[in-house]
Structure 1
């Protein structure tokens, strides 16, 4: 007599980098679905990034321990997997397999590039190669409806997951959990065949929006589209690219005038979670622990812009922009003033001065302000810095940064001039000791060799930890940076 394996509860794993909790963003499976080892079952958002979580068990999903939007601590139950149902349909018996759904499932398994830190068995069985598709937009949209790829197992899982989720939503919440778990297989057997499902949705769906393609998620995120409000037109209720593009077009239509211009005012409470909470905690700690001071200077950036334009014309392939040149100047300044490339170990009452430069730079994304880190920036040329800044900026905007890419900085560069402001007194990125800010570059009257003329002027500000150095060192660093901005040829002296 063979004894069926007991249910196995998978708990939220340690996500690394000191992260203690995560928010459920999107479940990839529903109760009654069959899962394989290392299959991605949920997307969670930590204080660092959005992470795909694979399950280490194979079998049938009998319980999801948290709803979308819930926050779980590391070690709390996440998903419960039982033995595979004996009467589960085989792939050959699956009715009305939609080949387009199989293709979308394949795109989903290609992944977004996020890495789960401190957990995983390799993701060997849950990954597939992305299939090459049409390159032109019209062909891609048409392919959403007529792609003929075949993957019966994936399509059947899509269909059963959808109907199981719908059925589960209809079960009263007060029902006994054990009884509903024992009858899970029976409920699944009573689910209507997949071909009876209609993607047309009346009102708000009872399950999270079904998005298979990471590209569709990215487009929605970049344009601020709420996927829960998008009407799907794809097979099995999948949201396609054209659905998101239609939602974007609808959002750009001028809003109708309100019937009552002076309606009641409401107070909104927004949970402090994920990245926003991490930023709040870090900045609060910086203010509590670091006795910071700020010094600033106006500089003529005309020659720096001329040097940038000359480089872009002579070597457009290098992609050297203003931020890369400022990064190069910062690295050279830290070599001359290493006191600012440090941190304070309060437990041991020591100043830790680093022999390497891990340069952080502020990047604004849909999720908020993040600070990716260019590691070993002191070993890079200006062109290499430009390439790494471009790579990390792209990952930050797409939500693909791993937690390691956001930690370990020794100095931060903040170009807040992109927001149209002249100056700022920024908060130091704890536990670093200093941060250089750059304001907008605008035409202002400037005296050059006794003559007032229009020049490209910007303001540089340096916020520093007064424990690691005094004003003389901070002023020396800022003056050196200002001199390099006004005359970039200074960098060639020790190049």
Structure 2
């Protein structure tokens, strides 16, 4: 047999390493061309890595939780000879010549360009919860099929953090009943399972269980507070007051969390940002959405989609905000198209998926693309390229139940529109006091690209369109 070593490929976007989240194969397993062999987390997203070789796995380079540099060995595969060896177990001996040669390409997240992709299917979420019975495989310790019986049903787990937590505390995820939507296993379920273990099976005779119980609660996968979902979970890196006698919770600043920290720190260092805000009566906007969805029930439009359409209208009128500052070239670059970023909170932290050329989409197309993009972001299904290159960001922080915020600009963009919760407030209408649906709009902008007149004009246009959606038609 000939051994082939598959190196961690170039991940693009300037990424130099990836953390191994979960191996999908073990030493001794037989793999085929383009089969997913490992799930890794980069500073941009969690992605599946397919192997370009077929054969038997003879070595896995790196343990789960370990960071591997690009270009270093990831997995070693022994390729069988063309002729069958009588001593080989069935299914291990002969492969097609093109399989033995490998696919010759390793494009992460999309297969390797040879034959059909064997990517693991991720569960898809809708605003109503989790749909479909397919799930993500559980921890590496889950039982596999043996000669004496069938494989156990894999646990439905979205978060790599939950899988890692289960492994650390010896919890078999296939035995855990998930309490999340559609049976998704949450951190609380792992905590309960760990507490049910006997003292002999616990790590540290109860000390580990105490630390586990003190860890912050993660939201169910269907409850991630992206712009399409209501409610806001506790941040996975945010720990509440610890009970007396417990130890500090240490959370490594790695992967996406580290990338977020670096980007926000750079934004605050480089950009002289200013925030302005205004209250707006959103009653007419809610009525407009209801009328659209009543007329076309098979293609529902969200409030977020209408807000995105309003942002695009404002950027058409004030293109100075759809820009970035080139500090090395000492120039301001206004983008030809609007690549709209949508801030979304996920189990792995804050991400900003990008809708390319959003200004070319109709309102219905915008709504559909927003729904698909935020759903994929929530389950970690977006490739790194979909999380970069934005020119303007829309942040619906109202899902956290707050009225206002002064968010940090998503570097290197020049502006960000924030939307607070929509609540009943007293409002003067035609000289009379009334109860209306009111929201607070805030615009944080880079003072290098424009002055207050431009920023104020943009925000006022947005507020006017929220209060009078008919202005969107007039602005076309």
SS at match of 2:262: helix
Determine helix, strand or coil for the equivalent of 2:369.
helix
* CA offset digits 1:245-276 (Å, max 9, x no partner): 496696798999x9xx9631311211111111
Q: 1:195 — aligned with what?
A: 147
Give distance in 2, aligned partners of 1:277 and 1:348.
Answer: 28
**Residue 286 of structure 2: aligned partner:** 305
Residue 383 of structure 1 aligns to a residue whose secondary structure is helix
Aligned partner of 1:381 among 362, 365, 368: 362
Unaligned runs of 5+ in 2: 94-105, 122-131, 197-209, 211-241
Of the three residues 376, 380, 391, the one matched with 1:399 is 380
Alpha carbons of structure 1 residues 389 and 437: separation in structure 2 relative to 1, 3 Å: same
Separation of aligned partners in 1, 2:141 and 2:463: 60
Separation of aligned partners in 1, 2:285 and 2:251: 43
Q: Alignment partner of 2:280: what SS? A: strand
Partner of 2:115: 124
Deviations 1:11-44 (A, max 9, x none): 2110112211111011122222333333221111
Of 422, 436, 441, the residue aligned with 1:460 is 441
Contact 1:14–1:118 (Cα < 8 Å) also in 2: no
In structure 1, the residue matched to 2:172 is 231
- Quickly say closer, same or farther: Cα 1:361–1:232, change in 2 above 3 A: closer
Counterpart in the other structure of 2:244: 263
RMSD across aligned C-alpha pairs, in angstroms?
Answer: 3.9
Question: C-alpha separation between the residues in 1 aligned to 2:419 and 2:29?
Answer: 53
Q: TM-score, normalised by structure 1?
A: 0.71
* 1:318 alignment partner, SS class: coil
Corresponding residue to 2:18 among 10, 22, 27: 22
Distance 1:329 1:480 in 2: 8
Once the two structures are superposed, the pairs formed by residues 102-121 of structure 1 within 5 Å of their partners are 116-117=107-108, 121=112
Query: Are the aligned partners of 2:153 and 2:174 in contact in 1 as well (CA < 8 Å)?
Result: no
Consecutive unaligned residues of structure 1, counting only runs of 5 or more, are: 94-114, 131-139, 145-160, 167-192, 200-209
In the alignment, the residues of structure 1 paired with residue 271 and residue 245 of structure 2 have an alpha-carbon distance, to the nearest angstrom, of 43
1:83-162 maps to which residues of 2 (within 5 A)? 83-84=79-80, 87-91=87-91, 116-117=107-108, 121-124=112-115, 127=118
Q: 2:299 aligns with which of 293, 318, 326?
A: 318
Aligned to 2:203: none
- Pairing partner for 2:392 from 407, 411, 420: 411
Contact 1:16 1:117 in 2 (8 A): no
Q: Distance in 2 between matches of 1:61 and 1:92?
A: 11
Secondary structure of the structure 2 residue equivalent to 1:391: helix
Q: 2:63 aligns with which of 41, 63, 67?
A: 67
Query: Is the contact made by 1:12 and 1:73 (CA closer than 8 Å) also made in structure 2?
Result: yes
Question: 2:274 pairs with 293, 300, 309, which one?
Answer: 293
Paired with 1:331 and 1:197, the residues of 2 have a C-alpha distance of 58
Classify the secondary structure of the residue corresponding to 2:10.
coil
Q: 1:421-441: CA deviations, max 9, x gaps?
A: 010000001111000001111
Cα deviation, 1:404-460, whole Å, max 9, x if unaligned, reads 221111100001011100100000011110000011111111222222221111111
Q: 2:299 and 2:153 mapped to 1: Cα distance?
A: 36
Contact 2:313 2:475 in 1 (8 A): no
Could you say which residue in structure 2 is the equivalent of 1:483?
464
Distance (Å, rounded) in 2 between the aligned partners of 1:438 and 1:327: 11
What SS does the aligned partner of 1:82 have? strand
Is the partner of 2:18 in helix, strand or coil? strand
Structure 1 position 284 matched with structure 2 position 241: no
Q: 2:38: which partner in 1? A: 42
Whichever of the two has the greater Rg, that structure is: 1
TM-score, normalised by the number of residues in structure 2: 0.74
1:247 to 1:19, Cα distance in 2 relative to 1, 3 A = closer
**Per-residue displacement from partner, 1:96-139 (whole Å, max 9, x unpaired)?**
xxxxxxxxxxxxxxxxxxx9449963141653999xxxxxxxxx
Spell out, residue by residue over 1:377-396, the C-alpha distance to the aligned partner (whole angstroms, 9 max, x if none).
11122111111111111111
In structure 2, the CA distance between the partners of 1:302 and 1:434, relative to structure 1 (3 Å rule), is same
Partner of 2:346: 365
Specify which structure has the higher proportion of helix.
Answer: 1
Residues 353 and 386 in structure 2, CA contact (< 8 A), matched pair in contact too: yes
**CA distance in 1: counterparts of 2:286 and 2:358, whole angstroms:** 22
Q: Distance in 2 between matches of 1:484 and 1:421?
A: 22
Number of residue equivalences: 397
